Chain A
């Protein structure tokens, strides 16, 4: 009787093995039968034939057996694999449960990394990757132009299937200023969207004043009343009929837009807008015909633009029509900050992974014996590696699931946190693509994390049993690997930290900048003059209103202008200086601000030369202008030289008479705090009365406290006048630094987390080193080494790691900084203070990280330590 072995080996039979086995088995049978027959007296020849005959259908039997065996083999592979997987998983879970402190650190580290990365990626996805919420998002394009140009475009360009045009507009809805769009009937059709309630604006509306509300405005102002349809709402004094409410997820062009009013009605009201070829405040949205690409359509537009240049040189010379994809226009310059944030959070995730890898590696040393025993019992290297990968994936999977939960919870807070800073084309949610990417990065993290233990396995595996499980001391490679991992961490942390500090430094510079005016105790509000019957009435009413405000007790000065520093200059214009030729007139552009007497005083803008505007600079008086210092410098050697010279606007919207320069004022940053010394051309408001004015009132006390008396004074001048969106100038200034502040805070937060994780990495490595070298330290101490020299020995390790990481990191930061430059204000990527800050912080964290291990090393009692070992 043969001795049977149960098959314990983990080998798998291949197709070829199975074929050979079946063949051998049948061959053995035939041979035995033949021999039996020969024994009974058959001739070998006929015995063989008889054996074959008794066997029957040999081919089919062999095929049948092979098929069954192959099928069984497959099943066994799957079963073995799942059973081993569940073994590994339960083993991994036991290991985690046995070291709760370590496990918590591992899980939280991964949860933090994955959670933060998922959160940032969900924002990135919602703004840059998610499909635009329109019918054919990829075919939508946009071009900025004037309405007459648009009419020509519709006539002569054939690349578009549908077209619509819009411009943004501020509306007064009672006392509230809301941002809206004035849209042509074709716009909604081009976007291919429908209203949630009622309908969108269509051609059938004609010139009737109609409006479609955003879901948000409908909910907020009208309580979601379904009876809103057909009701009229006053928009900037004119009754508009509500014909529809858009769905909650609809946004165009951004979430900030709360209503869309029909363009035909407003064109009927202000026909000159539709006829003004120079008024390029409109954007045409075109749906490209299927199969027509952007370059093809652009070629048509370029042909049109050069034709318009020839036909209308006054307004169109040097004007091109540039078609861009709607998405590119909507996302605007948010791409770079988003990429930077994504890069920072990816760095954070990498550091988290390295930390986990390092902790797993440290744990490996305590498991050397366990693994050696398993190897001795017949587990192959691949099998052990798979076990380690499974354990890593378990840790990363649990941590990642926790991170996704955190992200899912935090994602709801994101919209209020980022406000309108990031133009979102979709809602921020953990959508399927986001989850897929998160899962993919989780698996990548898991594999990354398991690389180090596997490297340990292949280098240290053979020696571990012999070494009696003493661990790493036998395997210098692993020590070096762990050090290298920590250096990688520090490098990444330094890059992120450098980004954060550069942005912070830029922010501080920005906050510290001299904006050119005083923000203390100044209230700014929007004064609408659209109700006034004409330009003369607007000038007069504005003058009387400002006079009434100046007379109020507690008001030190009051003035108005069409620009609101530091938010907007509202208008720009070309201009011409007398006697300086007009060759490059189109290149000469300046902000155009109409200002009242008292405006410079209220803002404390200093008069460098000449005088401010006065009440005498009225409509009938000689035309005058004031230049900003930077504009005057371009043409005149000193501010005094400008006085008495003449300048005129080159802009069909405004009268082009020559204006005598009567003064030069210091520079004001109109469009943002980083708008350094922009050229500004001021005219008296009375000579160029706009439809609105931003009034600035300097008060003796709290500016908001004066609001009541300010409103009363306005009503006394004209009951229709009101102070819209009143805000202290200080608030506006701090709001205009909100974007850089947010970016700096975000990246610095990531940097802080990265630094903490890197610190944990350093701490882990150094304290492990101390624990391992206890005996060596004890001998040194016994031989008379001082405690200081021992602690220096420990600290030196950390410093070496930090130095290596810092050098590599600064190099990396130098490479990455080119991305940052557009976000930096008066700060170079090599800003010495910021980089010194990086190094200082890194040193501080490294020293803090090795403080406890160093102290422990000093406290080693030589005698005890030596006796123990």
Chain B
């Protein structure tokens, strides 16, 4: 699966967000989309299409797996959940992001 290098930051970011969205409980794509929007208050303009691409990409990497289930309103929906590997990846990404952000903030917070 080819990945566009210029998008890698965005993609990587989206991947972390998806993993985090699934950390608590399995969820379908729409639920994940809604959850991320709630948390980011819509700051990150994420296309729903990009989200689904990320979901299938993560599934392909075996970080999450998918099952057909029944939604809150009794509809057939595709539910995703973290695999053991996905959980490990989330922990690693979580730590990486925090270190990254701390470093960037240290620079930004430095007196001019």
Chain A residues with a Cβ under 8 A of chain B: 1-7, 21, 24-26, 28-29, 31-33, 36, 54-58, 60-61, 64-65, 67-69, 71-72
Partner of B52 from the list A2, A4, A61 (CB cut-off 8 Å) is A61
With A24-B76, A54-B47: A29-B33 Cβ-Cβ less than 8 Å? yes
* Minimum Cβ distance to chain A for residue B31 (Å): 9
CB-defined contacts of B25 to chain A, threshold 8 Å: 1
- Bound form: Cα–Cα A58–B49 in Å: 6
B28 contacts partner chain A, Cβ-Cβ < 8 Å: yes
CB pairs A–B below 8 angstroms (11 shown): A2-B26, A25-B77, A28-B29, A28-B30, A28-B76, A29-B28, A64-B53, A68-B1, A69-B56, A71-B1, A72-B60
Query: Is there an interface contact between A2 and B78, defined as CB atoms closer than 8 Å?
Result: no
B70 contacts partner chain A, Cβ-Cβ < 8 Å: yes
B60-72 to A contact mask, C-beta < 8 Å, 1/0:
1000000111110
- A69 to chain B: closest residue by CB: B56
Query: Is there an interface contact between A5 and B71, defined as CB atoms closer than 8 Å?
Result: no
- Bound form: Cα–Cα A7–B67 in Å: 7
CB-defined contacts of A1 to chain B, threshold 8 Å: 25
- Bound form: Cα–Cα A287–B15 in Å: 73
With A64-B56, A72-B59: A56-B49 Cβ-Cβ less than 8 Å? yes
With A1-B25, A28-B28, A68-B1: A33-B48 Cβ-Cβ less than 8 Å? yes
B81 contacts partner chain A, Cβ-Cβ < 8 Å: yes
B57 contacts partner chain A, Cβ-Cβ < 8 Å: yes
- B81 to chain A: closest residue by CB: A4
* Minimum Cβ distance to chain A for residue B71 (Å): 7
With A2-B69, A2-B70, A71-B1: A29-B52 Cβ-Cβ less than 8 Å? yes
Query: Is there an interface contact between A5 and B67, defined as CB atoms closer than 8 Å?
Result: yes
- A21 to chain B: closest residue by CB: B78
Query: Is there an interface contact between B77 and A28, defined as CB atoms closer than 8 Å?
Result: yes
With A4-B26, A72-B60: A28-B47 Cβ-Cβ less than 8 Å? no
Shortest beta-carbon contacts, A-B, top 3: A56-B47, A56-B49, A61-B49
CB-defined contacts of A57 to chain B, threshold 8 Å: 47, 49
Apart from A28-B71, A56-B48, A68-B56, 18 more pairs, CB < 8 Å: A1-B25, A4-B67, A4-B79, A7-B67, A28-B75, A29-B29, A32-B71, A33-B48, A54-B48, A55-B48, A57-B47, A65-B53, A65-B55, A65-B56, A68-B1, A69-B60, A71-B60, A72-B60
CB-defined contacts of B79 to chain A, threshold 8 Å: 2, 4
Q: Which of B29, B50, B56 has the most CB of A within 10 A?
A: B56
Query: Is there an interface contact between B49 and A60, defined as CB atoms closer than 8 Å?
Result: yes
CB-defined contacts of B53 to chain A, threshold 8 Å: 61, 64-65
Query: Is there an interface contact between A68 and B78, defined as CB atoms closer than 8 Å?
Result: no
- A71 to chain B: closest residue by CB: B60
With A28-B76, A68-B59: A33-B49 Cβ-Cβ less than 8 Å? no
Query: Is there an interface contact between B71 and A55, defined as CB atoms closer than 8 Å?
Result: no
- Bound form: Cα–Cα A26–B69 in Å: 15
Query: Is there an interface contact between B29 and A25, defined as CB atoms closer than 8 Å?
Result: yes
Query: Is there an interface contact between B77 and A55, defined as CB atoms closer than 8 Å?
Result: no
- A24 to chain B: closest residue by CB: B76
- A59 to chain B: closest residue by CB: B49
CB-defined contacts of A31 to chain B, threshold 8 Å: 75
Query: Is there an interface contact between B30 and A55, defined as CB atoms closer than 8 Å?
Result: no
CB-defined contacts of B56 to chain A, threshold 8 Å: 64-65, 68-69
Size of B's binding interface in residues, CB under 8 A: 30
Chain B residues with a Cβ under 8 A of chain A: 1, 25-26, 28-30, 33-34, 47-50, 52-53, 55-57, 59-60, 67-71, 75-79, 81
CB-defined contacts of B52 to chain A, threshold 8 Å: 25-26, 29, 61, 65
CB-defined contacts of A7 to chain B, threshold 8 Å: 67
CB-defined contacts of A28 to chain B, threshold 8 Å: 28-30, 71, 75-78
CB-defined contacts of B78 to chain A, threshold 8 Å: 21, 24-25, 28
- Bound form: Cα–Cα A28–B71 in Å: 10
Query: Is there an interface contact between B50 and A56, defined as CB atoms closer than 8 Å?
Result: yes
Query: Is there an interface contact between A29 and B48, defined as CB atoms closer than 8 Å?
Result: yes
- Bound form: Cα–Cα A454–B18 in Å: 48
CB-defined contacts of B81 to chain A, threshold 8 Å: 4
CB-defined contacts of A65 to chain B, threshold 8 Å: 52-53, 55-56
* Minimum Cβ distance to chain A for residue B96 (Å): 24
Partner of A29 from the list B1, B30, B50 (CB cut-off 8 Å) is B30
* Minimum Cβ distance to chain A for residue B14 (Å): 13
With A25-B52, A25-B78: A33-B30 Cβ-Cβ less than 8 Å? yes
- Bound form: Cα–Cα A7–B83 in Å: 13
- Bound form: Cα–Cα A383–B73 in Å: 38
- Bound form: Cα–Cα A72–B1 in Å: 11
With A65-B52, A72-B60: A2-B29 Cβ-Cβ less than 8 Å? no
- A51 to chain B: closest residue by CB: B48
- Bound form: Cα–Cα A71–B60 in Å: 8
- Bound form: Cα–Cα A65–B78 in Å: 13
CB-defined contacts of B59 to chain A, threshold 8 Å: 68-69, 72
CB-defined contacts of B47 to chain A, threshold 8 Å: 54-57
- A66 to chain B: closest residue by CB: B56
- Bound form: Cα–Cα A45–B76 in Å: 24
* Minimum Cβ distance to chain B for residue A108 (Å): 45
CB-defined contacts of A29 to chain B, threshold 8 Å: 28-30, 33, 48, 52
- B70 to chain A: closest residue by CB: A2
- Bound form: Cα–Cα A60–B50 in Å: 10
CB-defined contacts of A32 to chain B, threshold 8 Å: 30, 71
- Bound form: Cα–Cα A32–B48 in Å: 12
- A52 to chain B: closest residue by CB: B48
* Minimum Cβ distance to chain A for residue B45 (Å): 9
With A25-B29, A28-B75, A71-B1: A6-B67 Cβ-Cβ less than 8 Å? yes
- Bound form: Cα–Cα A54–B42 in Å: 12
- Bound form: Cα–Cα A31–B28 in Å: 13
* Minimum Cβ distance to chain A for residue B55 (Å): 8
CB-defined contacts of A36 to chain B, threshold 8 Å: 34
* Minimum Cβ distance to chain A for residue B41 (Å): 16
Query: Is there an interface contact between B49 and A55, defined as CB atoms closer than 8 Å?
Result: yes
- A3 to chain B: closest residue by CB: B69
- Bound form: Cα–Cα A36–B30 in Å: 11
CB-defined contacts of A33 to chain B, threshold 8 Å: 30, 33, 48
Query: Is there an interface contact between A68 and B67, defined as CB atoms closer than 8 Å?
Result: no
* Minimum Cβ distance to chain B for residue A783 (Å): 64
- Bound form: Cα–Cα A58–B52 in Å: 10
- Bound form: Cα–Cα A61–B78 in Å: 16
- Bound form: Cα–Cα A322–B68 in Å: 79
Query: Is there an interface contact between B71 and A2, defined as CB atoms closer than 8 Å?
Result: yes
* Minimum Cβ distance to chain B for residue A264 (Å): 74
* Minimum Cβ distance to chain A for residue B1 (Å): 6
- Bound form: Cα–Cα A772–B28 in Å: 59
- Bound form: Cα–Cα A3–B28 in Å: 13
CB-defined contacts of B1 to chain A, threshold 8 Å: 67-68, 71
CB-defined contacts of A54 to chain B, threshold 8 Å: 47-48
- Bound form: Cα–Cα A71–B29 in Å: 21
- Bound form: Cα–Cα A1–B59 in Å: 21
- Bound form: Cα–Cα A640–B29 in Å: 118
- Bound form: Cα–Cα A219–B34 in Å: 90
- Bound form: Cα–Cα A26–B29 in Å: 9
- Bound form: Cα–Cα A54–B30 in Å: 12
CB-defined contacts of B28 to chain A, threshold 8 Å: 25, 28-29
- Bound form: Cα–Cα A29–B76 in Å: 11
* Minimum Cβ distance to chain B for residue A48 (Å): 14
- Bound form: Cα–Cα A68–B63 in Å: 14
CB-defined contacts of A64 to chain B, threshold 8 Å: 53, 56
- Bound form: Cα–Cα A350–B47 in Å: 67
* Minimum Cβ distance to chain B for residue A306 (Å): 76
- A61 to chain B: closest residue by CB: B49
- Bound form: Cα–Cα A32–B55 in Å: 18
* Minimum Cβ distance to chain A for residue B78 (Å): 5
- B78 to chain A: closest residue by CB: A25
CB-defined contacts of B49 to chain A, threshold 8 Å: 55-58, 60-61
- Bound form: Cα–Cα A57–B50 in Å: 8
- Bound form: Cα–Cα A3–B79 in Å: 10
- Bound form: Cα–Cα A30–B97 in Å: 32
